[in-house]
Amino acid sequence: MKINFPFNFQLRVYFSSLEKREGACSKIFGQEDKHIALWDFDNSDLTTIKASLRLIQLWYQLPAIYIVSSSLNRFHAYCFTARTLREVITILSATPEIDTKYLRLGMVRGYYTLRISPRKYDKFVLIEKLASYIQDEVNPLDISINDYMTINKGDKNG
């Protein structure tokens, strides 16, 4: 449904099916303005992702980065660092191949979320741990888990 107003605005309403998902949130429980780094890569080459994350890890002095396959040609990466949101945005923005819609959405919301609930036929698989001489700064149990609703696009949604 679309309504045009005389002063150069439109109101659009869409109806679609939603599905509930569970996601890991970048906010660190008990630390006011601290976040972990979460990356989302869609339709990217794994070799390029690994090389890019290794460079980012060295440049920003990050602890280990865990690369996970979330579905076919889609990858997530987790780094248990404790940084401000601004620092996380800088780190993510410097990463080639990152999903730009994911990057923008996190900037707008003030936190990032990666799906951790499996889709119908997909399973999460740890692909590689990019080791670091820097210790993890956050216990994985201290990250927030959120429920969220997303548009059902035939098993292709986050």
Confidence of residue 11 (pLDDT cuts 50, 70, 90): low
Q: What is the mean pLDDT of residues 60-70?
A: 96
- Strand pairing class (35-42; 65-71): unpaired
Positive/negative CA dihedral, 66, 70, 75, 79:
negative
Distance in angstroms (rounded) separating the CA atoms of residues 54 and 46 = 12
* pLDDT for the residue 36: 97
Residue 2: pLDDT band by 50, 70, 90 thresholds?
low
Instruction: Compute CA distances 77 → 2, 15, 38, 114, 115, whole Å.
Output: 39, 32, 6, 9, 11
Query: What global pTM score does this model have?
Result: 0.83
* Range in 1-5, 112-116, 152-156 the model is least confident about: 152-156
pLDDT at 132 over 60: yes
Angle at 139 between CA 97 and CA 61, to 5 degrees: 50
Q: Which of 26-40, 81-95, 140-154 has the highest mean pLDDT?
A: 81-95
pLDDT at 123: 81
State the pLDDT at residue 32: 82
